[in-house]
């Protein structure tokens, strides 16, 4: 009889700890297995640490052991760290790693063919075409060769029988295996090279560090961190580049391919299941040298991670708000620390947190203060809507129209930025004042005239625009209030009938595919006036753009959140920064009712430092991040009184601790979301570790959530 070895196995479901199973041999932590769980079989991962003391006869046996290298220890520690930090079940975090079970299966090798001998006696034209193509000496998949030659696979089979072709095994290689660090290096400017050297040195050091790569728009941050990637390639190791999903466009990948001679491995929502399995497998084997991906790429099982770059580090899109809530930017720093790898955070508008961490010396700070090639930054000025109001039911004030007319006359491109999708953000009744609201959320319904619906941007609820007011029954009384991009387009088409206009908005039909085509068209100068939501602000390169008009600069500032100023500053810096990138003189015009607002003033003066100094001071005084830490507890339920009562009961059970402040319960920023009523408790402390242990004690003491009640913990919430 063989002796059984007890092993600790974590399964990727909502469990807080590993279970003990028996295996026929000792298994290293990180080994991927299949184990029985209740009536099912599930994937699992052998977990480090003690096994439970279960009598041997009671243990269930490991059903299968994958013949793969174990997941790296630093990844297991990352899973543990994240689960603990975010108060998520350990198994749910492992689930983000073991996402594609098929990736664990050995790669199927294809049978290919290759030229091996002289031509056969009888050479038909079909055979000749095949031989000509195979003359490159490379292995071809049979079907691929036949299709390329335009013949049936029978012709290829015939040549195999004749000995002209031989059968060979083919394993598809990771695209990133062909990356060449010296393919086509950019000629860097002096400041670019010295900055690149700093990053290269951090890769060479081979240990954890965090560097803020802080460069104005158009300064060449990408070119600079490409040099750090080149160093990783020279060392034969692996790098991860995180981008906000929306920036993962063909443009970035093409640029990458021009520099390194091949494309990186890609990991984002547009990559199909098969592609993801590949990337996962290649990350684990080390064959994927550079992975470019959205936030979930942080959970890939890199075998030899030597660098993480987080581009556009300030982006809110790095925060995952559902399930395990985490900020991929911060978690990249943790992953880097656990893997002993340097981390580079790149931005033209760093988050206040990152900026303060750099100022305090926690992060190294390198700067590119000017655009590459001496291009001037756009001249930003204000259009004061108090003295220059647009005409009734128009949104463009005379000075902006004038600037657009001038640009169009000179055949230059303009961009109008309005962060509102659809036709109008609000529909109301002229007779009774009724506002069309979402039945499930505390928001107004947005008029999407193009699709002929009123829709909610939070839960997806859609309804037809009614003929009569649902409240008073008046006919022809519902009117659209305020502009969305579709309505703005009406005005532009009316004012500039000869111009080619184009609307870019994330809800336009066609998805990412279409978006890519449109961005390329804009870059080629095939549009005169582009109208866009925040989609256009994100890292795209529009070489012909010389005027950016911000239709409503005050939009993001109306919100009471202290982060509103920072967000608006970032967004408007990015969007005006699209202009003048090819060296032409360029302008940004900000339509506003509050020209004296510090954010607007900072954008006009270009004095970033004053803005950061002021925001830092506000954060310091309020003990807001990164001076203090915050955790939000969201209590939701099917009805308002139940949610409120549970939140209040929780507040009463909160441990007394002078160094932790508890605010609320108050209605959450979205008081009703997808039909659930939400209350929020906000805990704040200057010590992250104290806040953490206090929260843990509280959650243990707090009354259990029952019935429709749900309690969710959001560590480092985005709004405060």
Q: How far is the CB of 440 from Zn ion (least distance, A)?
A: 4
Residue 105 burial (10 A CB sphere; 0-12, 13-18, 19+): exposed
| Cβ distance to ligand ADP smaller for residue 539 or 628 | 539
Residue 215 found at the interface with ligand ADP (CB under 6 A): yes
Q: What tokens appear for 656 in the block?
A: 């007394």
Contact partner at residue 186 from Zn ion, ligand ADP, none, CB < 5 to 8 Å by partner kind: ligand ADP
Packed helices 563-576 and 598-605: angle between N→C axes, nearest 10 degrees = 30
Contacts 24+ apart (CB under 8 A), 702-707: 702/649, 702/650, 702/653, 703/646, 703/649, 703/650, 703/653, 705/635, 705/646, 707/637, 707/642
Site for ligand ADP, residues 183 to 212, rule: CB under 6 A: 186-189, 192
Give the binding range for ligand ADP (CB under 6 A) out of 180-188, 319-327, 354-362, 507-515.
180-188
What's the rounded Cα separation, in Å, for the pair 479 and 431? Answer: 10
Residue 630 near Zn ion by CB under 5 A: no
Q: Which residues pair with 532 in a beta bridge?
A: 417, 504
Buried b / exposed e over 637-655, threshold 16 CB at 10 Å, is beeeebbbbbbeebbeebe
The residues pairing with 592 across neighbouring beta strands, listed in sequence order, are 384
441 binds, among ligand ADP, Zn ion, none (CB under 5 to 8 A by kind): Zn ion
- 461 interacts with Zn ion by CB under 5 A: yes
Residue with Cβ nearer ligand ADP (221 or 448): 221
Distance CA 69, CA 280 (A): 13
**CB 462 → Zn ion: shortest distance, Å?**
10
Nearest CA to 11 among 130, 244, 38, 24? 38
Does residue 42 interact with Zn ion by CB under 5 A?
no
Q: Which of Zn ion, ligand ADP, none interacts with 33 (beta carbon under 5 to 8 A by kind)?
A: none
- Report residue 258 as tokens: 């021009």
Minimal distance in Å, beta carbon 498 to Zn ion?
40
Let me know the angle formed at the C-alpha of 681 by 678 and 682, rounded to the nearest 5 degrees: 130
Nearest-CB residue to ligand ADP?
Answer: 220
Name the minimum Å distance from CB 536 to ligand ADP. Answer: 14
Long-range contacts of 100-108 (CB under 8 A, 24+ apart): 100/273, 100/276, 100/277, 100/280, 101/43, 102/273, 102/277, 103/276, 103/277, 103/278, 103/280, 103/281, 103/284, 104/32, 104/43, 104/66, 104/68, 106/67, 107/171, 107/172, 107/281
Options 12, 112, 158, 218; binder of ligand ADP; rule CB under 6 A: 218
Q: Out of 80, 214, 223, 277, which residue is the one contacting ligand ADP (CB under 6 A)?
A: 223
Q: Does 217 contact ligand ADP by CB under 6 A?
A: yes
Among 458, 465, 495, 692, binds Zn ion (CB under 5 A): 458
Site string for ligand ADP, 398-417 (x = CB under 6 A): --------------------
Q: Measured from the CB atom, is 355 or 461 closer to Zn ion?
A: 461
Distance CA 259, CA 280 (A): 24
Closest to 295 in 3D by CA, of 342, 220, 240, 369? 240
Residue 551 found at the interface with Zn ion (CB under 5 A): no
**In terms of CB distance, is 80 or 223 closer to ligand ADP?**
223
Q: Which one of ligand ADP, Zn ion, none is in contact with 325 (Cβ closer than 5 to 8 A by kind)? A: none
d(CA 87, CA 493): 52
Question: Per the structure block, which two tokens stand in for 548?
Answer: 């950016």
Residues 6+ positions from 37 with CB-CB distance below 8 Å:
11, 13
Q: Which residues are annotated as a binding site for Zn(2+)?
A: 429, 432, 438, 441, 456, 459, 469, 472
Map the footprint of Zn ion across residues 499-528, applying CB under 5 A. none
Is 442 a binding residue for Zn ion by CB under 5 A? The answer is no
Q: Angle CA(348)–CA(608)–CA(255) in degrees, nearest 5?
A: 15
The stretch among 220-228, 676-684, 690-698, 707-715 that binds ligand ADP (CB under 6 A) is: 220-228
Q: Which two structure tokens, joined as six digits, stand for 343? A: 């981390």
Beta bridge partners of 702: none
Is 438 near Zn ion (CB under 5 A)? yes
Could you tell me if 323 and 298 are in contact, meaning their C-beta atoms sit under 8 angstroms apart? Answer: no
Residues, the chain: 720
Is 221 a binding residue for ligand ADP by CB under 6 A? The answer is yes
Site string for ligand ADP, 541-580 (x = CB under 6 A): x---------------------------------------
How many residues belong to the site for ligand ADP (CB under 6 A)? 16
- Under the binding rule (CB under 5 A), the answer on residue 456 touching Zn ion is yes
**Cβ atoms within 10 A of the Cβ of 144, count?**
16
List 10, 75, 382, 459, residue binding Zn ion (CB under 5 A): 459
Q: At its nearest, how many Å lie between Zn ion and the CB of residue 494?
A: 32
In angstroms, the CA 692 to CA 687 distance is: 9
* Tokens coding 183: 């393919």
Which of 441, 480, 531, 537 binds Zn ion (CB under 5 A)? It is 441
CB closer to ligand ADP, 211 vs 219:
219
* The binder of ligand ADP chosen from 256, 280, 302, 372 (CB under 6 A): 372
Total number of residues binding Zn ion (CB under 5 A)? Answer: 7
* From the list Zn ion, ligand ADP, none, partner contacted by residue 364 (C-beta under 5 to 8 A by kind): none
Contact stretch for Zn ion (CB under 5 A) within 372-380, 432-440, 593-601, 602-610: 432-440
172: nearest Cα among 241, 32, 275, 262 = 275
440 binds Zn ion (CB under 5 A): yes
Binding residue ranges: 429, 432, 438, 441, 456, 459, 469, 472
Residue 220 engages ligand ADP in binding (rule: CB under 6 A): yes
Closer residue to Zn ion, CB minimum distance, 233 or 445: 445
Binding site for ligand ADP (CB under 6 A): 186-189, 192, 215, 217-223, 372, 541, 581
Binding site for Zn ion (CB under 5 A): 438, 440-441, 456, 458-459, 461
């Amino acid at each position: 009889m063989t002796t059984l070895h007890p092993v600790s196995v974590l399964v990727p479901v909502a469990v807080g700890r590993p279970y003990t199973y028996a295996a026929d041999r000792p298994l290293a932590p990180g080994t991927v297995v299949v184990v029985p769980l209740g009536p099912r079989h599930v994937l699992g991962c052998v977990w480090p640490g003690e096994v439970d003391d279960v009598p041997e006869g009671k243990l269930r046996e490991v059903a299968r052991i994958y013949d793969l290298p174990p997941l790296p220890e630093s990844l297991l520690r990352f899973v543990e760290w994240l689960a603990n930090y975010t108060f998520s079940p350990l198994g749910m975090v492992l689930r983000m790693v073991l996402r594609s079970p098929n990736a664990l299966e050995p790669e199927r090798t294809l049978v290919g063919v290759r030229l091996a001998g002289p031509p056969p006696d009888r050479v038909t034209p079909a055979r000749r075409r095949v031989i000509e193509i195979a003359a490159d000496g490379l292995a071809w998949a049979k079907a691929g060769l036949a299709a390329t030659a335009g013949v049936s696979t029978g012709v290829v089979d015939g040549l195999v029988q004749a000995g002209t072709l031989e059968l060979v095994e083919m394993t598809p290689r990771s695209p990133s295996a062909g990356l060449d660090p010296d393919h086509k290096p950019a000629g860097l400017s002096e400041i670019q090279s010295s900055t690149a050297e700093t990053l290269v040195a951090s890769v060479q050091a081979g240990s954890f560090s965090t560097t803020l790569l802080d460069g104005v728009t158009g300064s060449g941050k990408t070119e600079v961190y490409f040099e750090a990637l080149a160093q990783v390639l020279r060392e034969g190791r692996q790098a991860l580049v995180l981008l906000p999903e929306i920036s993962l466009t063909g443009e970035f990948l093409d640029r990458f391919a021009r520099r390194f001679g091949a494309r990186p491995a890609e990991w984002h929502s547009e990559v199909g299941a098969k592609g993801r399995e590949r990337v996962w497998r290649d990350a684990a084997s080390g064959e994927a040298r550079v992975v470019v991906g959205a936030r979930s790429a942080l959970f890939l099982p890199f075998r030899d991670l030597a660098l993480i770059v987080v581009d556009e580090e300030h982006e809110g899109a790095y925060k995952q708000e559902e399930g395990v809530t985490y900020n991929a930017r911060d978690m990249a720093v943790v992953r880097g620390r656990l893997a002993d790898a340097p981390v580079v955070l790149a931005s033209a508008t760093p988050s206040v947190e990152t900026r303060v961490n750099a100022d305090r010396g926690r992060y190294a700070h390198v700067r590119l203060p000017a655009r590459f090639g001496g291009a001037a930054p756009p001249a930003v000025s204000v259009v004061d809507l108090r003295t220059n109001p647009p005409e009734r039911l128009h949104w463009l004030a005379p000075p902006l129209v004038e600037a657009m007319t001038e640009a169009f006359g000179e055949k230059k491109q303009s961009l109008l930025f309005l962060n509102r999708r659809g036709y109008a953000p609000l529909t109301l009744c002229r007779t009774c004042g009724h506002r069309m609201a979402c039945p499930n959320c505390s928001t107004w319904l947005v008029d999407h005239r193009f699709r002929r619906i009123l829709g909610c941007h939070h839960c997806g609820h859609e309804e037809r625009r009614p003929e009569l007011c649902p409240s008073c029954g008046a006919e022809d009384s519902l009117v659209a209030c305020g502009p969305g991009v579709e309505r703005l387009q009406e005005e532009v088409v009316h004012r500039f009938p000869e111009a080619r206009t184009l609307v870019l908005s994330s809800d336009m039909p066609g998805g990412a595919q279409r978006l890519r085509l449109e961005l390329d068209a804009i870059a080629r100068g095939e549009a005169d006036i582009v109208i866009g939501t925040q989609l256009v602000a994100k890292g795209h390169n529009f070489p012909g753009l010389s005027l950016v008009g911000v239709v409503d600069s005050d939009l993001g500032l109306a919100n009471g959140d202290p982060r509103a100023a920072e967000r608006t500053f970032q967004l408007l810096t990015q969007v005006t920064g699209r202009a003048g990138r090819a060296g032409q003189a360029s302008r940004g015009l900000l339509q506003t009712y509050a020209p004296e607002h510090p954010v607007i003033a900072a954008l006009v003066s270009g004095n970033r430092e004053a803005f950061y100094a002021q925001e830092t001071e506000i954060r310091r005084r309020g003990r807001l991040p990164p001076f203090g830490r915050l955790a939000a507890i969201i209590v939701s339920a099917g009805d308002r009184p139940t949610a409120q009562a549970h939140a209040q009961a929780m507040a009463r059970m909160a441990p007394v601790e002078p160094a932790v402040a508890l605010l609320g319960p108050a209605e959450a920023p979205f008081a009703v979301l997808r039909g659930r009523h939400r209350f929020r408790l906000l805990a704040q402390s200057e010590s992250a570790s104290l806040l953490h242990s206090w929260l843990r004690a509280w959650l243990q003491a707090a009354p259990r959530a029952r019935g429709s009640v749900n309690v969710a913990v959001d560590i480092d919430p985005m709004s405060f």
